[in-house]
Structure formats: C-alpha cells, structure tokens
Structure 1
Amino acid sequence: MAPADKWKRAQPDDPFWVQQCEGLRAEHVAPLNELIGRLGDGKDGVRLPLAAPWHGGIHAPALMVLNDAGEPRDETRFMCIRNPDRAADRQRHLMTEFDIDPADLCHWNGYPWPRLDPKRDLTPEQSLEGGRALLEVMGLMTELRMLLLLGRKAQDAADAVLPEIVSGYPDLHIVRSLHPLGAKRTVDREEQKRVWAGIASRLREGKQDS
C-alpha cells in the first residue's frame, strides 16, 4: 500500500485504473462486483460504479456509504478515493490527516443506481430500495464493525431498513455525519474532523483487539 503522502488523483488514463480493472475478480471484491452487476441488470442494464480492489472490499472493517451513484462517467468507473473529483479529494485529505488505510474502507452508495435528479432527496420508495441493497452488501462483509453514513441520502437508505440493521448487527457502530463535501462552514469542518478522528481511533482499536 502506498504511503498516505503518495496518494493522488488518478486521471482516466492513469495505469492505476488498468490495475483496478485487472483485479475485479480478486477474492475481496468479486462478491461486491457480482452484486453490482445484478443490481445494474435489474435496472435494464444500467451501469453502476464498481468496487475498487485498492480498497478493502468485503474484508474491510468499515462500510462507508455516500449518497448516490450520480451519472457514471469514464473518470468515475470505480468507487474509489483516487477518483478525479472533489468528493474523493476531500475523503483523501481526511484519511491522510487521520492516517486511515484505504484497505480499512469499503465504499457504497445509499442509492447505488444513477438518478436523473441526483440533487433531489430520495423518495421513500428509493430509500427503501437503497436500504435493501445496503443490506445485501452488509451481508457480504466478513469483518464489519462500523457503518459510516455520510450524507442525507445514505442515512435515509439506512433508516428505511434500520430495524433489520439493528437486529442483524447488534454490535455494529453506526456513524452519521456530513457527506465529504457537506462541510461548508468552519464549524462544519471542525465537526467533520472530529468525526473522522473518532473513526480512525476505532479502527486502530479494532486492529489492536484482533
């Protein structure tokens, strides 16, 4: 794993993405990418972003849920903090500041399918649909200890199936916070950093206990 100060945006022609494509069937991401394929097929073959092998996949201790898939483009084919976009930049900065290993995280979206109106809140039906998909992802995870709900849509999807999450994962630590780009004010950024410092602390504790 590259040290934190070496992380950078990977543009669409970066060899990094070739490596990610070559690893799609790696043991820790193959189940996720198979699920992503099924979810896309269920929506008339729509394309969803894939799980990047650079991250921890099903063995990650933390499942980080953002909002929705947006509109898939060549530069965002994967769910990855090295994507060339502002949200990924902010995630990298936070993970670098608090020394969080990319392998400690598995990425997901509260509503995993692209939407024509991504700026709008999820409808109740979309929240439930996203929540059911979230439960499927959680069922694949082997070491899940933390569920990070970052953004309104991520939280709405989880809330739609919260009784199932609580009953199925009674020891799960759930974190609710802003989307990486949601911290507009200084006070919001300070709170965001406090939350990520807590995430890093729990991840370190988990490694010491294992």
Structure 2
Amino acid sequence: MQTRTLADPETLAARRAQLQDPHVAPLTAFAERLRAGEMLGERLDLPHFDPRSGGIHSEILLLLESPGPKVAQTGFASPDNPDRTAENLSCLLKLAGISRERCLMWNIVPWQLSAGGVVTPTAMQVRAATPATLELLTLLPELRVVVLVGGKAQSGWRFVQPELPRPLPAMNCPHPSPRFFATDPQAPVRALSALVEARLLAKNAAS
C-alpha cells in the first residue's frame, strides 16, 4: 500500500481541488469559520479535512491530539501526510479493515501548535477546543463511534461527553507515534485491537 502520498505535489494539489466536493464541503466551511475566529473569538491556523475521507458521511471519527509539523506543510489532517505517525495510522486502518471512506481524522485541539516542532497541548488548550469538537459532531449525522487516539484526546473527551445530545461510544487507542510505539512494543497491538473494535461497533450500530 502507498503511504505518505501527500508528499507528492500533484497529489496535494488534487486533494486541495476536492475541498468543495459535496461530502466534505460542510467540513471545509466549518474549518474556515474556525480559522476566521467566528467560533472561538480568535483567528486560528488549522488544517483542512481530507476529501479522501468519508467527510460528513463518516461512521468513525479518529480524534488525535493536535496537528503535527507535517500538517503545517500539507495543510491537511490526513493519514496520507508524509510522516511516520500518519504512516503508522494508515497501515493500522488498512489492517483493521477500515476503509478511508468510512472514517474521518481530526484533532481534539484542531489548531496548529507544532509548525516548528512537536508541541503537546496543555489541559487548558484541550478544554478551550471543546466547543469546536461539539460543533464538528453536529456535522456528522452518520457517526457511530469515536476513537480517541492518544492521552490528550482521551483526557479531553471528558469535557465533550457531558455535552453530547445523544450517547456516542468512544474508545481509547494508543497514539501511533514512532517514539511511543518504540517504547511500548504492545502499543501497536492495542491500537489495532481498538480500531478493529471500532469497525465492529460501527457495523453493529448501522445494522
């Protein structure tokens, strides 16, 4: 399978040309409102949603921590970004049997913190992003399950969950960063298990 495809300028340009496709246009508009400061009161630097995803038809939402350095270069929150974290996630999704058209990737803190190097979001930043996460969830009517990828996404969900208009299953998944996978050899196994369970939950909820 091909990974890191957004390193290719032609692929990146083609992805940008799809930002107004019907399945992703509402998410493109949502991201633009966030950038302009209409929701949180300040202008923010954040990526686009990936048109290769399921967009508003996604059944599985992958919530990571915050956009990494390569996201600042491509402008997309995507498993196709040219870094090892995205590559690991792309491979895990393939192994778990989750098609890209069924899922959507985003971050619990959606704006850019790490353009110059990896920065871990603070608890205050995670809490401040809660309204944006709640707004995003209203745009995903077919959503069945949220996968909380990494500790910050998992801790931040406690601010989101009480505000949900309907119950929404959420499961914890280890962060697929190469550093974390190297320090915990069982992390890839747990990550794959979480994604397989998410696929099965989404399938059962839809039936």
Which residue of 2 is the match for residue 31 of structure 1?
Answer: 26
Between Structure 1 and Structure 2, how many residues are aligned? 198
What CA deviation, in whole Å up to 9, does each residue of 1:142-179 have, x standing for no partner?
Answer: 201101111122123321232112xx122x21111211
Contact 1:148 1:174 in 2 (8 A): yes
Structure 1 distance, partners of 2:159, 2:32, is: 23
* 1:41 corresponds to 2:41: no
In the alignment, residue 104 of structure 1 is paired with which amino acid?
A: R
* 1:86, distance to aligned residue in structure 2 (A): 1.0
Contact 1:68 1:118 in 2 (8 A): no
TM-score after normalising by structure 2: 0.85
* 1:44, distance to aligned residue in structure 2 (A): 5.2
Distance 1:162 1:44, change over 3 A: closer
In the alignment, residue 178 of structure 1 is paired with which amino acid?
A: P
Task: Select which of 171, 177, 195 maps to 1:175.
Answer: 171
What CA deviation, in whole Å up to 9, does each residue of 1:26-74 have, x standing for no partner?
Answer: 1111111111111112175443110111101111001110001234532
Contact 1:134 1:158 in 2 (8 A): no
Contact 2:28 2:48 in 1 (8 A): yes
Query: What secondary structure, in the 3-state scheme, does the structure 2 residue paired with 1:148 have?
Result: strand
* 1:16, distance to aligned residue in structure 2 (A): 2.0
Structure 2 distance, partners of 1:118, 1:158, is: 21
Unaligned runs of at least 5 residues, structure 2: none
Structure 2 distance, partners of 1:46, 1:128, is: 16
Which residue of 1 is the match for residue 93 of structure 2?
Answer: 95
For structure 1, which segment, 65-74 or 145-154, has the greater mean C-alpha deviation from structure 2 after superposition? 65-74
Structure 2 distance, partners of 1:113, 1:200, is: 27
Identity across aligned pairs (percent)? 27
* 1:161 corresponds to 2:156: no
Structure 1 distance, partners of 2:158, 2:130, is: 8
What CA deviation, in whole Å up to 9, does each residue of 1:103-129 have, x standing for no partner?
Answer: 1111111111122685334233x1222
**Superposition misfits of 4+ residues, deviation over 4 angstroms:** none
* 1:82 corresponds to 2:80: yes
Task: Select which of 22, 29, 32 maps to 2:17.
Answer: 22
Which residue of 2 is the match for residue 119 of structure 1?
Answer: 119
Contact 1:40 1:48 in 2 (8 A): yes
* 1:94, distance to aligned residue in structure 2 (A): 0.6
Contact 2:77 2:105 in 1 (8 A): yes
Structure 2 distance, partners of 1:31, 1:158, is: 23
Which residue of 2 is the match for residue 197 of structure 1?
Answer: 196
Which residue of 2 is the match for residue 13 of structure 1?
Answer: 8
TM-score after normalising by structure 1: 0.84
Unaligned runs of at least 5 residues, structure 1: none
For structure 1, which segment, 102-111 or 10-19, has the greater mean C-alpha deviation from structure 2 after superposition? 10-19
What CA deviation, in whole Å up to 9, does each residue of 1:175-202 have, x standing for no partner?
Answer: 1121122433222222222212212323
